[in-house]
Structure 1
């Protein structure tokens, strides 16, 4: 996908997340299906913080040629990720060694601001990335060495992937309320 197509797809996902944000009561927003799964609020926290402080940060590192290297390859998982333009359609488990603290949900209104920030930063990156030669890369723990375009694309795929999680939690919340 080219950068414009990625940005368009990202904006579509962000608009959906924004529209969905207030379909939940404040209680539903923080209700976890079980001890191992996140609430909707935790999921919003994860996708927003991942975009701003992981995916976009690494894309910028590549554009600024810092915290990475010239060259490097994706591993087999990275090759499949971009070949199929999608995370696997399953619930993924982060290895214990890579897990950070469990996300803490903010107020629902805060995510409107964060999603707007992601939209703005995405547009800025989408303007800068086409001029990049793609040679400078930063490591992604699960996929190998990615350039700015790939980090940007992976963020869009990440937003889509979490729609599956959102659907699972939505189903739980519907069943709890019936």
Structure 2
């Protein structure tokens, strides 16, 4: 079930936080790359925005007949982002802040989990809702937004693992 997938992936992110101290999560492999903490901050910020989109769909039946893009349909069919590095807006990426501390990240992730489960209950109870527009994928329904949030978190696990590998390489060989 979709909510189970979301909760499972979020739990991975929570569990991963136990592996690092604060110094490790704010360290960057290179000046132009993200830290592990910035990946967490990105996920929290974006997922909150996705949840805002879900709430828009609940409040307005607008765009209910509109569809997602063809590339989005394939992505959702595969339940995964394409297996390639997606370059974001470099200005936006530069504005991703470092976390204050690890407990605040855990708290924010727990809050996302609670909010997702509340939204899921609303999705199950409400039978009609609209759609809201994703900047690149076109129109998504509430369940599609939740699926997208889970896919997004899963996609960034690869990025986190690449950062860890780069930091370990840097520590061991430079």
- Both proteins in one fold, TM over 0.5: yes
Q: Give the alignment's Cα RMSD to 1 decimal.
A: 1.9
What are the superposed Cα offsets for residues 56-107 of structure 1, whole Å, 9 maximum, x if unpaired? 11011101117x533211112211121111111221112569x465211211
CA contact (8 A) 1:32 1:39 kept: yes
**Structure 2 residues not aligned, in runs of 5+:** none
The 5-angstrom pairing of residues 22-171 of structure 1 reads: 22-52=18-48, 54-65=49-60, 69-95=63-89, 99=92, 102-106=95-99, 107-133=101-127, 136-171=130-165
What are the superposed Cα offsets for residues 12-70 of structure 1, whole Å, 9 maximum, x if unpaired? 11111111113223222111122332100000000011111x1111011101117x533
Note closer, same or farther for the CA distance 1:105–1:88 as it changes in structure 2 (3 Å cut). Answer: same
Report the TM-score when normalising by structure 1.
0.88
Shift >3 Å, 4+ stretches: 131-135
Match of 1:173 among 161, 167, 173: 167
Note closer, same or farther for the CA distance 1:149–1:22 as it changes in structure 2 (3 Å cut). Answer: same
CA distance in 1, matches of 2:98, 2:138: 30
**Structure 1 residues not aligned, in runs of 5+:** none
